[in-house]
Chain A
Amino acid sequence: MTRAFSDLHLRVNPKDQQATRKIIIKAARFRYTQISIPFTSNLNEEELTKLKATCTESGLDFVSRADFRPRSENELTHFLRKFRRRFEVICVICDSKEVARQAAKDRRVDLLSFPSLDHHKRFFDRAEAELASCSLAALEVDIKPLLILEGPPRVRLLTSLRREVALAREFKVPTVVSSGVAEERLMRLPRDLASLTFLFGLDEAQALEATSTNPAAIVARNREKLSNRFVAPGISIIKEGKPS
């Protein structure tokens, strides 16, 4: 059976229809099965429907995802309350320790992202990993910085990623590897994307899990939760009886 690959972070602007279409077609050509283009909090249902239609046309499964960069714990909880049920995947970009800790604790958060290149602003430490392992959050790693950076900044980023990925493995926090690219030229074949994770210490099996099994599991879990038949984890409505 062929492996199904996902790229949950294609950072194209959904309003730029031409660029979006190009990226979608290329993702289909590269044989990804699931892709996601993040929306911010100002969701446009029409754009989302259009994107889904374009993806279906190309034989791709579109996953609705929202990225949020909260400034405080309160802003994060407010956002989650408002948007959790409208998106299949929720990613929190952690710019402060306070937000990172709250996001790791909250079971409504799917992905934790630490985009800063400054290692003082990357908050995925032992405490964060322990909190994330108790909730359902996964660590998201974008490959784009590895492609565009050179020299000392890339070395520093690799050091941080190696440490974070090792911590995630120790605390059994799933790692999700995404491209994070906005340009078509920086897109890579799924196995090439996975091979880049070798640079920060993932072996082949872990790399393939991070690009296929882990993201697919998050999407499947959330789709089940968002379906009308869901009651509680492990309990769903199979058949409805007729009123007597």
Chain B
Amino acid sequence: MKRVKRRYLFLQLECDSVPAEREFVDAVWASVTKLYGEVGASLTGLALINFDAERKVAVLRVTLATLSMMRASLAAITSIAGKEAAVNVVGVSGTLKALYARVQ
């Protein structure tokens, strides 16, 4: 079986209040399913790797094949837990090491 290529996304959240990890993940899933449906969402291989509520940053892992879908879904987020918010993709990389090196 062919190995699934993945990408890690470093995200910066823009919101007035600090969302909980669960609220953030729910907002991401809601955006993906709203735009691409449940079948589309199942292809993304979406996983939350890291969430720092204090710095309002998060790291997500997705499959390379659905990277464009994920970027569009993240850009389409306008609220988290009913409060105005935006999610900016600061960096994308194939390994966590390179991702952290790039954004620091």
A contacts, CB < 8 Å to B: 146-148, 150, 185-189, 191-193, 195-196, 198-199, 204
Binary contact readout B74-104 vs A (1 if CB under 8 angstroms, 0 otherwise): 1110100000111011100000000000000
Q: Which residues of B contact A150 (CB under 8 A)?
A: 34
Known interface pairs A150-B34, A188-B86, A189-B89. Does A195 touch B68 (Cβ–Cβ under 8 Å)? yes
Q: Which residues of B contact A188 (CB under 8 A)?
A: 75, 86, 88
20 additional A-B residue pairs with CB within 8 Å, beyond A188-B75, A192-B89: A146-B76, A147-B78, A148-B78, A150-B34, A185-B84, A185-B85, A186-B86, A188-B86, A188-B88, A189-B89, A191-B71, A191-B89, A192-B74, A192-B88, A195-B72, A196-B75, A198-B69, A198-B71, A198-B72, A199-B72
Contact B78 A199 (CB under 8 A): no
B contacts, CB < 8 Å to A: 14, 34-35, 68-69, 71-72, 74-76, 78, 84-86, 88-90
Q: Classify the secondary structure of A's interface with B.
A: helix
Known interface pairs A185-B84, A199-B35. Does A192 touch B75 (Cβ–Cβ under 8 Å)? yes
Q: Which residues of A contact B34 (CB under 8 A)?
A: 150
Contact B68 A147 (CB under 8 A): no
Q: Which residues of B contact A204 (CB under 8 A)?
A: 68
- Kindly provide the distance from the CB of B78 to the nearest chain A CB, expressed in whole angstroms: 6
Contacting residue for A196 out of B72, B85, B88, B90, CB 8 A: B72
- Kindly provide the distance from the CB of A167 to the nearest chain B CB, expressed in whole angstroms: 21
